[in-house]
Structure 1
């Protein structure tokens, strides 16, 4: 990775100014023992994880005790281990083979070497089969410090995609040109500071931006995915842009319109919903002799299901992002990743979020609720318009939520009636209420009690619902979902 001289000098000064016994930085004068260097790489890489750093540093040319700039005679580029060049020898004995970077440069007439070492990822970094860790200013075998080893493994489990860096080595002006910071204040109903340094500090406080060791800044995946003016400028995020595709029929044979979003989710959400709504047809139906116009897909349901797809996707699945496909009879909203709970129990399960900081901020600006009520609203919106109940299907790597256009009860398939009955019972139950013959008639928008009774009987026989009290008289019978 190329680093210009200004970056390297800035980094050198920032590291020089650190307090003593920093576990993610080691200073040397002319240390040239290859084995010791390899052990330091392992120790620093592992310690960076515990210190919450993306990189650690081994620096030649700074005096360890005084942090005085003294320069060095050592060069990795010309050093060898036996007949082999030092850099590939070190790389070969590291497991996993981390991509450390060597920078050799001059400053103020002195030579310096900085070894930039990435933090360990998923497993501890080993050198020559041994794991090392920093204890204060000392390099020690990791196996001798079981409490640090346990903490290291816990840290591997807790690194969230949101906290990782999307774009680094930026000046303040570059950060503010890439992120729509004015929208950040508008969405939070806050006054925009006149001091841009305060803007940066607020973005750091919300984990959108990080201050680097060299005094420059990084934009996190969280900051980019929410407030990027152009997601294509972020290599880790450009495939997470939302695709909207409209087809003329019930299959993918005839696409008529497609658009890929370019903005971060927070600033692009309203525009996305408006665009989807503009492609949603309206039709007239007659119910109980009354003609009325309805959207194929209710806006409330669209808002909730799209927000869920954005927030609960698995960002670790590469090469894919949320997709909204609009057909003549349905809308399919697909996001990478499987749900964290059974699809049968989404209505009553406690809320869980794969991306906690993303969900938290989307709640703060009113796009979603963390209480887990999103699926309730989706089902309620469908029932309010007497639509078939939404379905949720899961394949190997994706979750698909399908919303359906209006279909009269007499045209619904048996499985559609059973699913609608089950979802109605579940929605009633989480609302401290019960399914009855009357409530299900209202749900389907019909007055035919015998038909509704047959649907209820079929749902009971198929284990979808059960009587609250089997001994109740038939006309007063109440029902609950099978799991209640």
Structure 2
């Protein structure tokens, strides 16, 4: 890690230990370390600091560098490395890393502990907190416990530091900041201080107490030249997988995006369109390439998967899987709105700053119209309705290529009927037998078939008559919630 010596020097300047700094000489008692990691992580969240620190090789009274005889990375409990032992007993949201460095010809070990996220950090299923310079059980302080949970529940992924203690030029070298100015269509400043002004204002960079700079999660996930430079975000790279046929037995191609979302978005869309099934048609002597799916629908589905993912779920990132008859977009986290109200509900995102900046960069709209566009473009192309599936901690959206009406399952027909009623309603109109026939590309002779479908959708309590007193021939329908 860069600038460790400067970080340690700055921390040693504090006159006393704090709720987020612990100095030690040679005390490596495993249980004590576990309890302190819990306490420091929770205290950092309470004080809205991104990290807390344990430093060995420092006199805890004078804060002079005296050196330590051990290295946390090599200590063991029995045959098990102490770090692995700690991780087994700490809660899964405990996030820390250890480093050893020579400062003034003396060995110093530092444990950098990230703030508690989503829940308190526990050790042996007990959560701790720092009271002054002492580690105490959190449940002994109910008022502090309530404050801590309030801070945790309101913590934003985008604001937390992804990489810190960097000189300004080193921080900017990791980011493709020129893309920011290109997308905003404003002139790029000629010096790094002018550039840093915009980066700080947008919370892409943050200035730290020690005078150095940190790259926020927001800055890294959008503008990283290479996500591999950010260990906590590398698994959030977008994976695109192409399969042969309609199942996952034979994978033809896999591509993993290594750039930040804002940098790589347009190339990602182009790459998907290149490997999608398509055909060339010649009209009036002009050659035109038609893809199996509307570009707008693909674009909005990709943007939704990126923006609405739950970044607290580790080890997984957005995945786009392409089959001969469908595309599946999967991301971690479940929607914050009922999927049956996904069209009319106001926009709601767990990553508000990410959504806001992507809107201002012209990548998405953040107006709640993404799903309207997906459904409208699929209807215009007479494709099956997009499918939404919820799992324990993820969501999958599927776009289908053209399927004859007669080959659709009754569930798919009913879902398409319901979405058609929703999209008509938000446009100030109502579903009719005629509009639904047009949506499926059917002739007037299929009127009876569509009538039966409407009755089935009513039976499932998804739509209802707009005016029950109207004669059946002129009946119009609206969503059940309208």
Instruction: Identify the TM-score tier after normalising by the shorter chain.
Output: 0.7 to 0.9
Post-superposition Cα deviations, 1:294-332, rounded to whole Å, max 9, x if no partner, equal 531000100111110111112233332222222222211
CA gap 1:16/1:403 in 2 versus in 1, 3 angstroms: same
Deviations 1:53-83 (A, max 9, x none): 233457897999xxxx8847696869xxxxx
Aligned 1:388-407 pairs, distance under 5 A: 388-407=384-403
1:18 CA displacement: 6.7
Q: Select the structure of larger CA radius of gyration.
A: 1
Q: Provide the residue aligned with 1:288 in structure 2.
A: none
Q: Which residue of the partner structure matches residue 328 of structure 1?
A: 324
Question: Cα gap change, 1:62/1:184 in structure 2, threshold over 3 Å: closer, same or farther?
Answer: farther
Whole-Å separation in 2 of the counterparts to 1:392 and 1:149: 38
Contact 1:42/1:133, CA 8 A, preserved across alignment: no
Q: What is aligned with 2:167?
A: 171
Q: Counterpart in 2 of 1:81?
A: none
* Local SS of the residue matching 2:245: coil
Written as runs of structure 1 = structure 2, the 5 A alignment for 1:308-387 is: 308-387=304-383
Between the two proteins, the alignment pairs up a number of residues equal to 457
Q: Distance in 1 between matches of 2:393 and 2:136?
A: 41
How far the C-alpha of 1:221 sits from its partner, in A, is 2.4
Partner Cα distance (1:420, 1:367) in 2: 28
**2:241–2:251: 8 Å Cα contact kept in structure 1?**
yes
Question: Structure 1 240/58 Cα, relative in aligned 2: closer, same or farther at 3 Å?
Answer: closer
SS in structure 2 at match of 1:453:
helix
Aligned pair 1:123/2:116, yes or no? no
Distance in 1, Cα, partners of 2:278 & 2:238: 24
Structure 1 residue aligned with 2:238: 242
> Residues of 2 paired with 1:388 and 1:43: CA distance?
53
TM-score normalised over the length of structure 1: 0.79
Whether contact under 8 Å (2:458, 2:464) holds in the other structure is yes
Give 1:223 deviation, angstroms: 1.6
8 Å Cα contact 1:224-1:231 kept in structure 2:
yes
Q: What CA distance in whole angstroms lies between the structure 1 residues aligned with 2:470 and 2:257? A: 55
CA contact (8 A) 1:76 1:102 kept: no
Corresponding residue number in structure 2 for 1:159:
155
Question: C-alpha displacement at 1:394, in angstroms?
Answer: 1.8
Distance 1:130 1:321 in 2: 29
SS of the residue corresponding to residue 313 of structure 1 reads coil
Kindly indicate whether the alpha-carbon contact (under 8 Å) linking 1:71 and 1:112 is maintained by their aligned counterparts in 2: no
Give the 3 Å change call, closer, same or farther, for CA 192–407 of structure 1 in structure 2.
same
CA distance in structure 1 between the aligned counterparts of 2:436 and 2:36, rounded to whole angstroms: 69
- TM-superposed CA distance for 1:402, in Å, is 1.1
- 2:450 is the alignment partner of 1:455: no
Where do 1:34-73 residues align within 5 Å?
A: 46-56=42-52, 71=64
**Residues 77/254 of structure 1: CA separation in 2 closer, same or farther (3 Å cut):** closer
Q: Aligned to 2:439, what secondary structure does the other structure show?
A: helix
TM-score by length of 2: 0.79
Q: 1:246·1:327 contact (CA, 8 Å) conserved in 2?
A: yes
Choose 38-47 or 256-265, whichever is displaced more: 38-47
Deviations 1:137-165 (A, max 9, x none): 99998678654332112122233333343
Structure 1 residue 131 displacement after superposition: 4.6
Alpha-carbon distance in structure 1 between the residues aligned to 2:127 and 2:296? 56
- Aligned residue runs from structure 1 range 262-273, under 5 A: 262-273=258-269
Shift of 1:96: 4.8
CA distance, structure 2, for counterparts of residue 481 and residue 348 of structure 1: 10
Q: What CA RMSD, in Å, does the superposition of the two structures yield over aligned residues?
A: 4.1
Q: State the distance in 1 between where 2:431 and 2:130 align.
A: 60
Q: Describe the shift of the 1:23–1:421 C-alpha distance in structure 2 as closer, same or farther (beyond 3 A).
A: same
Whole-angstrom distance in 2 between the partners of 1:72 and 1:231: 35
Matched, 1:251 2:251: no
Q: After TM superposition, give the deviation of residue 442 of structure 1 in Å.
A: 2.3
How far the C-alpha of 1:474 sits from its partner, in A, is 1.4
Distance 1:26 1:322, change over 3 A: closer
Check whether the contact 1:389–1:420 (CA below 8 A) recurs between aligned residues: yes
In the TM superposition, what whole-angstrom CA distance separates every residue of 1:250-278 from its partner, at most 9, and x where no partner exists? 22234333322121111111111111122
Q: 1:295 aligns with which of 291, 298, 307?
A: 291
Residue 424 of structure 1: how far off its partner (Å): 0.3
> Any conservation in 2 of the 1:48–1:55 contact (CA below 8 Å)?
yes
- Cα distance in 1 between the residues matched to 2:275 and 2:26: 67
